[in-house]
Structures are given as structure tokens and as C-alpha cells.
Amino acid sequence: MKLKAIGAFAALVTLLTSTSVFAAGDASRGQAFYATCGACHGANAEGMEALNAPALAGQEEWYVVRQLQNFKKGIRGGAGDVYGMQMAPMAMILPDDQAMEDVAAYIKSLGK
């Protein structure tokens, strides 16, 4: 009985430490980062077809963060991914996951 409880606790600790827990995104901090993004995605994240940059306004924060991580890790934007290669260096200007959360919160707020 006691062993089972310890096992469950250990599993929970593993789960919590393997999942990165970040503070919720801060849209006002994200706005500063977005200044660069707006050059391609539009000042209000409405998208710019001429630059192949999609609209982002209102997009779910978890999706934006995951795509930014994918660009940063090279999962998107590798050889042969012509448009992704234009975006990948942009993900690099976001120093950490908190910055991604912040810019995602700002993008989400633009959809209102």
C-alpha cells in the first residue's frame, strides 16, 4: 500500500519535472518582440501573402509556441522548406520559451 503511494508520487514528480512549466504569456512583453514579426506577418498579424507569411492574429497560444519551437529546433524550416527557411531565423530572436509564450499571448490578443 505504502509502496504504491510512493510509486504514484514518483510518477507525478517525473511528469511535473519533464513538462516545462512556464508562467502564462505576458502580452505587453510580447508586443516588443512582435515589432520584428510584423514586418512579414503584418502590424496586426493579418498576414502578408506577398511574403508568404500567414495571418497569426487570434491563433491559439499553444500552437504558436509549438511552431516557434519547431522552427528553433529545425523541425520546420530545414533544407527544401523554402518559406520555413525564411521564418526559422526569426524564431531564433526569441531567447527562450518565456519569450515565445509572451509573443504568443500578444498574437492571441490581436484576434479580439
> Which residues of this protein are in contact with ligand HEC, per CB under 6 A?
33, 36-37, 39-41, 51-54, 56, 64, 67-68, 76, 83-84, 86-87, 90, 93-94, 103
Provide, rounded to whole angstroms, the least separation between the CB of residue 79 and ligand HEC. Answer: 13
Cα→Cα distances 84→4, 52, 81, 90, 111, Å: 48, 10, 5, 10, 23
Nearer to ligand HEC, 7 or 58 (CB): 58
Q: Which residues contact 69 (CB under 8 A, 6 or more apart)?
A: 91, 97, 100
Provide, rounded to whole angstroms, the least separation between the CB of residue 109 and ligand HEC. Answer: 13
Which residue has 511535473 as its cell numbers? 16
Provide, rounded to whole angstroms, the least separation between the CB of residue 111 and ligand HEC. Answer: 13
Nearer to ligand HEC, 4 or 96 (CB): 96
Which residue has 509573443 as its cell numbers? 103
